[in-house]
Structure 1
Amino acid sequence: MANERENNTNYTIYENGPLGEVQIANEVVAIIAGIAATEVDGVVAMAGDVQKELVSKLGMKVLSKGVRIAFEDSGIRVDLSIILEYGCSIPEVTAAVQERVKNSIETMTGLKVVDVNIRVADVKIDNE
């Protein structure tokens, strides 16, 4: 596999495969990370940026909300911003998110994940 950076929005995983080239868009990796993170117990939602918040308020679901992907020579760096459920163990939940996101991206894309950085942006209390 030729793990070479193509540009900021695509990552080439097969350059000269038997049937041609295969690229994965940055947004696809972000969606995989966002879905994987929200599958972990204790994660209420992803915390997004202002632009993605506006899009989601218009009724369009943004699956990559709260996720930033950076392709580097050594692999992919994932930055997540999450909202946790009040009362959960932050170290346990964030460790589970890191492992789940890393495994999901590597399994689905074949790309190497070198970092999964998490920012706990908020805590959701039941009566909110």
Structure 2
Amino acid sequence: MTETTHRNDTTTRETLRGRRGSDIPAGKRGNTTIADSVVAKIAGMAAREIPEIHNLGGGMARALGAVRERVPGGGSGVTRGVSVEVGERQAAVDLDVVVEYGVSITDTARDVRTNVINAVERMTGLEVVEVNIAVHDVHLPDEEEPEQEETRVT
């Protein structure tokens, strides 16, 4: 029989606030620091691996992200819709998603949550204490993505 426990101690999200990165003890040979942006990229990639996820980010975030991607050095958009808080040994993740029409949102959220937790914990060694998912939109089959203008260098 499997026993489920709930965390009601000081390992809550509040203990993660205000920290800039993760310091994972490595013994006498040094420390490894993992930046928030690294955890955000891992979480964003893991969320996008779920086929029922159409996109990440709310409407405004997607629009600004599309503009940012066209600017040289503006980033790849992997972390759009992803927010993380990283502590010394734990991380919390918030995701804003758009799902495909017709899928079970609860099943999709479960799959995303599992994939994000597995990826972050496997790659960083951090314990993921929570993954919060906000579904901002449903992508309809006949909806077209906003057209992105081609960037030309002259």
TM-score normalised over the length of structure 1 = 0.83
Distance 1:127 1:51, change over 3 A: closer
Amino acid at match of 1:43: I
Unmatched runs of 5 consecutive residues or more in structure 1: none
Aligned length: 123
Q: What percentage of residue pairs aligned between the two structures are identical?
A: 33
Distance, in Å, in 1 between the alignment partners of 2:84 and 2:70 is 23
Alignment of 1:1-128 (within 5 A): 8-14=19-25, 16-18=27-29, 20-47=30-57, 49=61, 52-58=65-71, 60-72=75-87, 75-128=90-143
C-alpha separation in 1, matches of 2:78 and 2:28: 30
CA contact (8 A) 2:40 2:79 kept: yes
Measure the CA separation in 1 of the matches of 2:126 and 2:28: 16
Q: Given that residues 82 and 95 in structure 2 are in contact (C-alpha distance below 8 angstroms), is that contact kept between their aligned partners in structure 1?
A: yes
More strand by share: 1
**Distance of 1:30 and 1:9 partners within structure 2:** 13
The Cα shift of 1:125 comes to 1.0
CA RMSD of aligned residues (A): 2.4
Q: CA deviation at 1:73?
A: 6.9
**What amino acid is aligned across from residue 75 of structure 1 in structure 2?**
Q
> In the alignment, is the contact (CA less than 8 A) between 1:8 and 1:26 conserved in 2?
no
Find the aligned partners of 1:10 and 1:70 in 2 and give their Cα distance.
Answer: 8
Q: Is the CA contact (8 Å cut-off) linking 1:85 and 1:123 kept in structure 2?
A: yes
Which structure has the greater CA radius of gyration?
2
CA distance in 2, matches of 1:43, 1:11: 28
Contact in 2 for aligned 1:14/1:23 (Cα 8 Å): no
So what's the TM-score if we normalise by structure 2?
Answer: 0.70
Cα distance in 2 for residues equivalent to 1:10 and 1:82: 25
